[in-house]
Structure 1
């Protein structure tokens, strides 16, 4: 048994197809099939059920594939230790981030990372939270930037920042006139536009809704924050937006008014997380420290809020002329 055989088995477990697994391993299909058969002969148990249409692993095959993945992850950790001993700031970091933060945070954070670690190759994967967590567990990511809380005992977390929310409304909405005076209680009996299932921002917004007695706008669930912004600007409904999602380089939308909460606003807590067993622990703590060096104004809701005078002027221009 060698590491290559384990790689073939893990690839087969992931792709459930000899041809696709062979392509992933950069070998021919007969080569991969032969090595899997040799591994079965060596272990003395069948690992694969071969059917005309697809490949299924036996129960023992699935168990061995899980353990094989762990072995390969540990081998990669060993290689990472060696690389970083020679040059702690070189090499590759595979970083996952969720889609309601990635496009808005990274334009501000990546220049800081490049300046601090010019030789670092940062590979970014944008996925929903559950997918990022799965990829972390499988060793396919080195770290993730996610919203807390996370209930994963195997992960270490480094708090990065707290991000406030703003209320987004159309100019003609009554709440547009509450700039700086908006209280959470004002959302009572309102129905908010929300993202589809799987987005952590949806869960965060629902938590606010439940807290104040608000509800969800029925019949619509957005796939992205940009869709939410467009729907609010069209006066379909109102929503909560994280402050980074409305700061430059994001372009403002006409008729989209951002209302700052009075006192402590609703918010989300963001952290960098990685496996407690990671050989990159020390370096990832340095990387997390870089992400904390974001421009102070980026997380300031006041500078993103629409001035009350602008909201009033916008409503005035939209009033129909008297005849």
Structure 2
């Protein structure tokens, strides 16, 4: 029978493949650098295979086989870690650590009521929250560093299970006195020739805004790069709109939670379709905590704004 790698050896290898630095990988695993290096070398001897290319100096370079072993090892470690999680979930649902990820266009406006909901209804959950872009959160989810994500859809969420919570309509924000301010609604066609302020690359709201703009006209890459300003947050976008640099598209969730309260900026609903995003949850497929996440989704759904 072939010797099987230990969970610790796989953890060393996977962490090194993610961080590409022996010192940082050792710190992440809470061991010394020599311990981590020895563990990986022992794994290579067990497999009778070279996983790292040590001919390139101090750089961490994986061989093609090493990359594949790290990928398979990650899957194996996830499956192994799911065993006690499955037993714990069966014994005591909705308890223990929950690592929650949320995107920046949702976090400032929804984290507080969601955290309070968890604290009040599920006090045995030990919660931690990470805010990051959709792409980075999905990567952390796939690596097992997060358990559950709060995202805006549509998004490239392949490799996850998703559950929609509610629709969040998009609105146009503009300076007071803007020509579009007299309209009760703004259509996608009316955004033509407007100077748009968008979120920077990596934020899903940027792609959702571009999708709305394309409804009115055929935007190409030059339109997206040359005719827009970019913002790092919705609050920065509101600042830029107030300065008259352009108009923006923001979710109703942000407006209802005071985004424009300190700015001489007004909003108008977008008309046409689809002119909304969907707030939802995402988690790893076949997670042993899937039932917990459905229960949390039902609780979070009570936070949806009342239909007008």
- Single out whichever of 56-65 and 260-269 deviates more from structure 2: 260-269
Q: Match of 2:9, SS?
A: helix
Shift of 1:152: 4.6
- Quote the residue 2:73 is aligned against: 68
2:12 is the counterpart of 1:26: no
Mapped to 2, the partners of 1:118 and 1:31 lie a distance apart of: 38
In 2 relative to 1, CA 110–166 (structure 1 residues): closer, same or farther, beyond 3 Å? same
Q: Give the number of aligned pairs.
A: 298
Q: Which runs of 5+ in 1 are unaligned?
A: 301-323
| Separation in 2, partners of 1:115, 1:204 | 34
Structure 1 residue aligned with 2:294, among 275, 282, 285?
A: 285
Contact persistence 2:197–2:228 (CA under 8 A): no
1:67, 1:6 → 2: CA distance?
9
Tell me whether 1:194 sits opposite 2:213 in the alignment: no
Q: Confirm or deny: 8 A CA contact 2:238 2:260 kept in the other structure.
A: no
Structure 2: which 5+ runs fail to align?
none
Higher Rg of the two aligned structures: 1
Q: Is the 8 A contact 2:99 2:148 kept in 1?
A: yes
How far the C-alpha of 1:19 sits from its partner, in A, is 1.8
- The residue that corresponds to 2:251 in the other structure is 242
Q: Which residue of 2 aligns with 1:80?
A: 85
- Does 1:143 pair with 2:152? no
* Whole-angstrom distance in 2 between the partners of 1:106 and 1:244: 12
d(CA) in 2 for partners of 1:150, 1:182? 24
Q: Is residue 164–residue 242 contact of structure 1 (8 Å, CA) maintained in 2? A: yes
Match of 1:40 in 2: 44
Say if 1:174 and 1:13 are closer, same or farther in 2 by CA, change over 3 A.
same
Q: 1:45 to 1:15 in 2, by over 3 A?
A: same
How far the C-alpha of 1:68 sits from its partner, in A, is 1.1
- TM-score in terms of structure 2 length: 0.89
1:167 paired residue among 156, 172, 183? 172
Structure 2 residue aligned with 1:223: 232
Deviations 1:150-194 (A, max 9, x none): 45553221110100112101012111122x244443333323211
- Give me the whole-angstrom Cα distance separating, in 1, the residues matched to 2:268 and 2:228: 25
Worse-superposed segment, 235-244 or 14-23: 14-23
Alignment of 1:120-159 (within 5 A): 120-159=125-164
Displacement of 1:275 in angstroms is 2.0
Q: Distance in 2 between matches of 1:112 and 1:5?
A: 39
| Equivalent in the alignment of 1:312 | none
User: CA offsets per residue over residues 254-276 of structure 1, 9 Å max, x none?
Assistant: 31111234687821112211122
CA distance in 1, matches of 2:152, 2:198: 17
Partner of 1:212: 216
Offset at 1:278? Answer: 0.7
RMSD: 2.2
- Per the TM alignment, residue 248 of structure 1 is displaced from its structure 2 partner at its CA by 3.0
1:175–1:265 Cα change, 3 Å: farther
